[in-house]
Structure 1
C-alpha cells in the first residue's frame, strides 16, 4: 500500500475510535444522571429510604387485647357511659345517676285543715288508724241540706293517721251503729296529717216525714274502726249534740269519711 493511502486509513480509524469513545462516554453520563435523579427522588420520603430514619412499622404486642365495641342493653337502648355522674355503674355497685337536690318528693300535701285521699295506697305507705282518743270530733248543724249534721274529725296528735271506712255512731243507748250510706264510699282512704280534718255527713231524719219511729235523741257516741273496717280504735268518744238533742228516725244514715266537706254534704 502506498504511504499516502496508509496515512489516510490511519486518520479515519482514529476518528472512528474518537466518535465511539464519545458515544460511550455520553451513554455513561446519561446512566449516571439517571441514577442520580432516582436517588434524589427516593430521598423525598426519608422514612422510606433514609438510613437515619428507616421505615419499620412497630408490631402490635401479642398480649394487648383488641378493643371491643360497647355492648348494648337487651332492649336495644344504647349503652350509657360508665363515668361517675353520667349514669354508669359506680365501683360500689350502685347507680351514678344524679337526682335533683330540690326534688319536692312524691307530691304536694293537701292544704292545712283538710284530709288527703291517697288512691291505690299500698301497705308500705299506710299509716296507723286514727285513734278516737287522739282525734277531736265535733257535730255541727247544717242549714242545707235540712235535717243534717256534719261530723268534723281533727287530728290532734303529732303523727299522721288514716281514717278508715265510716264512723260508728250510736245515739242514746242504741245496740247497733247507724247505717252507712253505701254510695258515699270514697276512692281512697282519708289520711290526716297533724291538724288536718276529715268529714262525714249525717242524715238524722227524712225531710218529707216518711221515716218511722221518730224520737228525740240526747246523746251521741262515736268510735273509729280499724283498717279492716271493724273494731273500735281508742274506744268511743262522747260528742255533744247541737242544742243538746236531735230528732232521729229510722231513715237516718252516715256517710263514709271524706277529705272534702262538700263530699260529705251533697247526699
Structure 2
C-alpha cells in the first residue's frame, strides 16, 4: 500500500509539472502574438520598438525623405543644409566680384574714348563711350571732365540726377557711357563749332583728346552744355536732359 501511495504522489507531481509547462508554453505564444500585433501597424509596416534606441527610430523616419532633414538620431541632420549650398555659391560669386574700394581708378592708358551722335538733327546730344582696353579691372569715378573750347576753361557741369549709386567698375573689355548735352540745337549765334575736345578722368591730370563725331564736327553752346555721370548704360529719365 505504501508503494502505491508513493507512486500516486509521484505521478501527481509529474502531472502538475507537465500542466505548468503547458500553461507557460501557451502564455509564451500569446505574449509573442501580442508583441507581433503591437509591433504591426496598418498595412503590415513594423512600428518602432519601445526598447529601441531613440535616435535610431527617429533616424529611420528621416531617411524616407530624399534631401529632407536627414537622420536626426545618427547625427547626420546636417544633410538638410544641402539646400544652403546654392546660397553659399551665390555668396561666393558675390564675394568674387571686384570691390569698388579696392579696384584701381581707370587712367587714360586703361580706356579708349569715343564720341557718337545720339540722335539725328538738330544734334543736341552726344554719347561718350569709355571702353576698358587695359586687360585689367578698373574704376570710373564721377563724370567725364570735359572742355570743349579754349575760351572756356571750366569743365562742362554735371547733372546730379544721372549719378549712379556707386562708381562704375569695368572689367577688361567692358564699356561705360556718359550722355553729353551740346546745345538746344539749330543755328544760333552762341553756338560754336568743335572738331575735337578734351576729357580728363577723375583722379588723373592727363588729358585725353577726343575727336568730335561727324564730318563737320559739333556745335556747342556754353550756356546749355551739360554732362551725365559715367554709367553702365544710358537710363531713360535719369539721362534725359
Fold equivalence (TM over 0.5):
yes
Q: How far 1:219 sits from its partner (Å)?
A: 3.6
Task: Indicate if the aligned counterparts of 1:212 and 1:250 stay in contact, CA closer than 8 A.
Answer: no
Q: In 2 relative to 1, CA 97–255 (structure 1 residues): closer, same or farther, beyond 3 Å?
A: closer
Q: How far 1:179 sits from its partner (Å)?
A: 0.4
Q: Flag structure 2 segments of 5+ consecutive residues without an equivalent.
A: 25-52, 56-68
Q: How far 1:155 sits from its partner (Å)?
A: 0.6
TM-score using structure 1 length? 0.54
Task: Indicate if the aligned counterparts of 1:157 and 1:194 stay in contact, CA closer than 8 A.
Answer: yes
Aligned ranges for residues 153-232 of structure 1 at < 5 Å? Answer: 153-173=130-150, 174-207=152-185, 214-225=191-202, 231-232=203-204
Q: How far 1:240 sits from its partner (Å)?
A: 1.2
Q: Matched residue of 1:239: which SS? A: strand
> How many Å separate the matches in 2 of 1:152 and 1:135?
9
Task: Indicate if the aligned counterparts of 1:206 and 1:249 stay in contact, CA closer than 8 A.
Answer: no
Task: Indicate if the aligned counterparts of 1:164 and 1:257 stay in contact, CA closer than 8 A.
Answer: yes
Give 1:135's match in structure 2, choosing from 111, 115, 123. 111
Task: Indicate if the aligned counterparts of 1:216 and 1:248 stay in contact, CA closer than 8 A.
Answer: no
| Root-mean-square deviation over aligned CA pairs | 4.3
> How many Å separate the matches in 2 of 1:196 and 1:258?
11
- Is 2:233 the partner of 1:260? yes
Q: How far 1:37 sits from its partner (Å)?
A: 3.5
Q: How far 1:245 sits from its partner (Å)?
A: 4.6
- Is 2:212 the partner of 1:241? yes
> How many Å separate the matches in 1 of 2:83 and 2:119?
57
Task: Indicate if the aligned counterparts of 1:160 and 1:192 stay in contact, CA closer than 8 A.
Answer: yes
Q: How far 1:38 sits from its partner (Å)?
A: 4.4
Task: Indicate if the aligned counterparts of 2:144 and 2:229 stay in contact, CA closer than 8 A.
Answer: yes
Which residue of structure 1 aligns with residue 14 of structure 2? 36
Number of aligned residue pairs: 189
Task: Indicate if the aligned counterparts of 2:100 and 2:169 stay in contact, CA closer than 8 A.
Answer: no
Higher helix share: 2
Q: How far 1:143 sits from its partner (Å)?
A: 2.1
Q: In 2 relative to 1, CA 192–122 (structure 1 residues): closer, same or farther, beyond 3 Å?
A: closer
Which residue of structure 2 aligns with residue 72 of structure 1? none
Q: Flag structure 1 segments of 5+ consecutive residues without an equivalent.
A: 1-20, 46-66, 70-76, 89-95, 108-117, 226-230
> How many Å separate the matches in 2 of 1:217 and 1:30?
141
Q: How far 1:188 sits from its partner (Å)?
A: 3.4
Q: In 2 relative to 1, CA 39–255 (structure 1 residues): closer, same or farther, beyond 3 Å?
A: same
TM-score using structure 2 length? 0.59
Q: Deviations over 1:56-87 (max 9, x none)?
A: xxxxxxxxxxx998xxxxxxx9979656x948
Question: Radius of gyration: which is bigger?
Answer: 1
> How many Å separate the matches in 2 of 1:98 and 1:177?
51
